[in-house]
Structure 1
């Protein structure tokens, strides 16, 4: 378990602060993560990596000469927000373009893509290579859906070396994609991991058993088998990965035997002796292997094996020198110490809303206070639900998001904002602090609702219904989820549709909202009968049956919370129809 922490909600922020202070020879903190504190003599393409915290040395420990130029570091097991990625990438860009690279998880894709779009609009040349090395997370005919685990290091090292060698952005992107195509990983675990402040692990493995095919975010494995001997585990790894060998891959491989946090180096060495022998018996030549903690999962007792199949170019780049806090190889050329100037995003001036819209904004503030209380009460249970087939971070992310959103909204209200500006401020803060898929989804919904309500007049019932319908459409557009995929969309769609129908019948907003909240709760409860087909839980298929989707449950909870506020409020939240 994790024993040393202060406020669990502040753990990631305090960890990043301490890491940057301890690693000042390599990195310096910027809003959203870290960038290099040194620079080569000539500008290069900038490699920006990132993901949730809890995986050290990924991601901050891989920032340094010959590797990454910056790392966006999210909350525990949650993707960094689009604001964080934007901040790090903008700071790291040396004028030759930016390659974003990260593991293939829904929240990371949403936030990195949003950041990339914003950077491109600002004039930066930005590309993306998503790592998809985990053979257990999707079949070979759907490799693009696989998640990224310890194979991240192989792709990052190749891309970072290419940038250091002077490749242009096209070239860095090309070799990173090539490395990803030639990288395969396979992981197992003997115990789950425990997040700071949690009373129990995210999942448990029965004594004497081993979970096969786990991820790096506390996701449980795909299967449970008896604990093998070290040699038997090596054989399981090697045979599984060689079945997935890329076409025309050749005979030179880099093995990366990775400890997930609770397996000692000595144990890894015992396993590696058999890995090397088995690879040799299959006619493969090992090149510069790595054994140790490369991508962890807090205190999880487990390990994974990654194989990177080399060609001449990849071998040259893999062997190139690197110097980062947690990864060093060879001797890098002399680097110049730099203090990269960073600027916090300027706070936009708050425009005053009309008196009517300010009254609606005040009601939004009351609703957000109630939402904070509801999520604080439900956070542990939301985390438990998420741990059944996911990574267990939903409660933490929702708590960080709703608190940040409430605080930003209250500041906007105090400055005289109308309802639209208040909701937009809430959305930006929620996304920034929550990260993850749910952070992106809630931000999108709040922005659309804010745009519909505006700042100039008291919104009508129709404005609210249209805003919720726009929120539904926005979430479905960027997340690609449909009703039945076992996601938050299963609750969002019936809520928005029922609200719209009620308003069209002439119901008051409170009446229509009450019926919509009931529809959302009913639909959320029914997700227990579904098998997940999107998100991190997708890898576990039928394992999710019997447990409702935590995102749908939290959405329904907050719609019921707002219903109570509307019912108790003496203010008329809307004017007319």
Structure 2
């Protein structure tokens, strides 16, 4: 369990601050994560990695000569926000292009993609290569659906070495894709991890059993088997990984890099006992072992577990794997001397408050009051939302929603008090929510609020028709952005009936208060009905069967916000328009 923390919601921020102070030889803290504190004599392609915190040395611990130029560091087990990724990538770019690389998780994909689009619009050449090494998370014929776990180290190390060699962005991208396609990982766990302030672990494993196919975000395993001996585990790992030799690899005489990774609580001494057998089994299979690594390479907080990755080499990959690297959490060989660099972070322009009508300002005050109540409601539900999320996910939904709701509340209050209209107030709240929350919920709620804002104005009345249209636009934006459909056990299962009911009631002549109240009731019922559904989208899809019987946390939090806003509208709107 986690014993040393202050305020749980501040843990990631305080951890990053301490890490940067302790690792100043390699990194400098900037908003959103860290970048290198040194610069080589020649400008190169910049490798920017990232993901949630709780995986050290991934991701900040891999920033330094020979590997990454920057790392976007999200909250515990939550993807960094698009703003964080944007800031890190823009700061790290040396004019030769940027390669973004990270694990294949819904929130990471959404946020990194949004940042990439923004950077491209500004003229930056940006590419992406996802890590998809977890063989247990999807079949071999659907590799694009697989998660990225401890094999990410191989991807980052080789892509970083390619960049350091002076390779072009095209070549760095090509080499990174080849590394991804030649890396396979298989993991097990003996107990789950416990987030700061939590009463218990995200999942438990029966005595004498181990979970097979776990994720690195505290997701439970996909199967449970008896705990074997160390030699038995080695045989389990090797046999499973050798069942899937990457396309284009001739197994006879092949060269492989084994990465035996401890997930947080398994000690190095135990790992060495397991590796003893791994090494022997690989050689008996006719493989040549090249510069293996054993230790904590990509952890899951304090999870008791381990994984084995195999990187299947060719001549080019072998040379890059052996190349030197010097980072806080991973070192190999001896790198050339580096010069200290003064990091220049792009300044954030002060935004003026646009002119607004009295009616729009009044609506902004109602919006601000709604955010006050939303933050309070989420505070009260955060633990339960986290518990629901831990059933088939990583348990971070409550934390992310709390961070986002508080940031949105503060931004909305500041905007409304400064005389902003409804549109500007919602836009400021959207940016703050998305930036602070991160994760899937952060980017989606930012889209919701931004889409609603675009339907409203700062100089016109906010009518019930416009509100209904704004909610429908937000629903459409979420469906388009996340590709979710009704029945896949997501927020959309509550949001779609809410938007439809609100539009129908408003069109029938109901007041906004009545229409919203009815729609909120429909959303709450729909959210509870998701308990009967199997998750088929997002991080929970790997554990879809486990999700049956529990409602979707995103749908539940949406319904909670809908009900909360309904109460605020009833208190603030004396006369509906």
TM-score category of the 2 structures, normalised to the smaller one: over 0.9
Mean alpha-carbon deviation: is it higher for 385-394 or for 534-543? 534-543
Deviation at 1:571, TM superposition (A): 4.1
- Show the counterpart of 2:520: 517
Q: Distance between the aligned counterparts of 1:65 and 1:464, measured in 2?
A: 52
2:119 matched residue in structure 1: 119
Q: 2:366 aligns with which of 363, 367, 387?
A: 363
* Distance in 1 (alpha carbons) for counterparts of 2:573 and 2:105: 44
1:569 Cα offset (Å) = 2.0
Q: Is the 8 A contact 1:423 1:450 kept in 2?
A: yes
Matching residue of 1:170: 170
3-state DSSP class of the match of 2:68?
A: coil
Q: TM-score scaled to structure 1, two decimals?
A: 0.99
Whether the 8 Å CA contact 1:105–1:536 is kept in 2: the answer is yes
1:472 and 2:487 aligned: no
Is 2:276 aligned against 1:273? yes
State the partner residue of 2:135.
Answer: 135
1:568 and 2:555 matched:
no
Written as runs of structure 1 = structure 2, the 5 A alignment for 1:63-462 is 63-250=63-250, 251-462=254-465
> What are the within-5 Å matches in structure 2 for residues 37-48 of structure 1?
37-48=37-48
Counterpart CA distance in 2 for 1:352 and 1:209 is: 64
1:497-533 residue CA offsets vs partner (Å, 9 max, x unmatched): 1111111111111111111111111111111101100
1:344 positional shift: 4.0
Judging changes above 3 Å, is the alpha-carbon distance between structure 1 residues 504 and 570 closer, same or farther for their aligned structure 2 residues?
closer
The one of 532, 536, 540 aligned to 1:533 = 536
8 Å CA contact 2:489–2:536 kept in 1: the answer is: yes
* Distance across 1 between alignment mates of 2:372 and 2:20: 34
Task: Indicate if the aligned counterparts of 2:513 and 2:573 stay in contact, CA closer than 8 A.
Answer: no
Tell me whether 1:482 sits opposite 2:490 in the alignment. no
Distance in 1, Cα, partners of 2:238 & 2:556: 41
> Does the aligned pair in 1 maintain the 2:154–2:311 contact within 8 Å?
yes
- Offset, 1:570: 4.5
Is the contact between residue 134 and residue 146 of structure 1 (CA under 8 Å) also seen in structure 2?
yes
In 1, Cα distance between the equivalents of 2:376 and 2:248?
57
Distance in 1 between residues matched to 2:151 and 2:216, nearest whole Å = 11
C-alpha contact (below 8 Å) 1:48/1:69 kept by paired residues: yes
Question: Does structure 2 conserve the Cα–Cα contact (< 8 Å) formed by 1:31 and 1:344?
Answer: no
Partner of 2:466: 463
Displacement of 1:340 in angstroms is 1.0
Q: Displacement of 1:351 after TM fit?
A: 1.4
Q: Could you tell me how far 1:255 is from its partner in structure 2? A: 0.4
- Verify the 8 A CA contact 2:532 2:551 in the aligned structure 1: yes
Unaligned runs of 5+ in 1: none
C-alpha distance in 2 between matches for 1:349 and 1:154: 46
**Residue deviations 1:419-463 (CA, integer Å, cap 9, x gap):** 110001000000001000111111001011111121112211110
Counting matched residue pairs gives: 574
SS state of the match for residue 248, structure 1? coil
* Alpha-carbon separation, structure 2, partners of 1:316 and 1:366: 60
Q: 2:191 aligns to what SS in structure 1?
A: coil
CA distance in structure 2 between the partners assigned to 1:59 and 1:344 by the alignment: 24
For residues 221-279 of structure 1, the C-alpha deviation after alignment (integer angstroms, 9 at most, x for no partner) is: 00111111111111111111111210232311000000000000000000001111111
Equivalent position of 2:35 in the other structure:
35
- For residue 334 of structure 1, report the CA deviation from its aligned partner: 1.6
1:124-181 Cα shifts (integer Å, max 9, x gaps): 0000001000011111111101010001100001100000001000000000000000
Q: Distance in 1 between matches of 2:347 and 2:59?
A: 22
Counterpart Cα distance in 2 of 1:269 and 1:161 = 27
Q: Tell whether the 8 Å contact from 2:188 to 2:210 is kept in structure 1 after alignment.
A: yes
Deviation (angstroms), 1:347: 2.8
Quick check: 1:352–1:415 contact (8 Å CA) kept in 2? no
Structure 2 gap segments, 5+ residues each: none
Contact 2:456/2:466 (8 A) holds in 1: yes
- For residues 248 and 282 of structure 1, the distance between their equivalents in structure 2, rounded to whole angstroms, comes to 18
- Distance in 2 (alpha carbons) for counterparts of 1:571 and 1:508: 11
Q: Which residue of 2 aligns with 1:26?
A: 26
Whole-angstrom CA distance in 2 between matches of 1:352 and 1:76: 39
Contact preservation (8 Å) 1:53, 1:75 = yes
| CA distance, structure 2, for counterparts of residue 317 and residue 326 of structure 1 | 18
C-alpha distance in 1 between matches for 2:159 and 2:283: 28
Deviation, 1:307, is: 0.5
Contact 1:39 1:336 in 2 (8 A): yes
Give how far 1:353 is off.
1.5
Q: Contact conserved, 2:423 with 2:456, CA < 8 A, in 1? A: yes
Secondary structure of residue in 1 paired with 2:556:
helix
Q: Distance between the aligned counterparts of 1:272 and 1:350, measured in 2?
A: 61
- For 1:136 and 1:478, the matched residues in 2 are separated by 27
Instruction: Please show how residues 539-558 of structure 1 align to structure 2 within 5 Å.
Output: 539-558=542-561
Assess if the C-alpha contact under 8 Å between 1:16 and 1:33 holds in 2.
yes
Partner Cα distance (2:573, 2:123) in 1: 49
Q: What is the DSSP-based 3-state SS (H/G/I as helix, E as strand, rest coil) of the residue aligned with 2:141? A: helix
RMSD of aligned residue pairs (Cα, Å): 0.8
Is 1:322–1:329's contact at 8 Å kept on the other side of the alignment? yes
The structural deviation recorded for 1:336 is 1.2
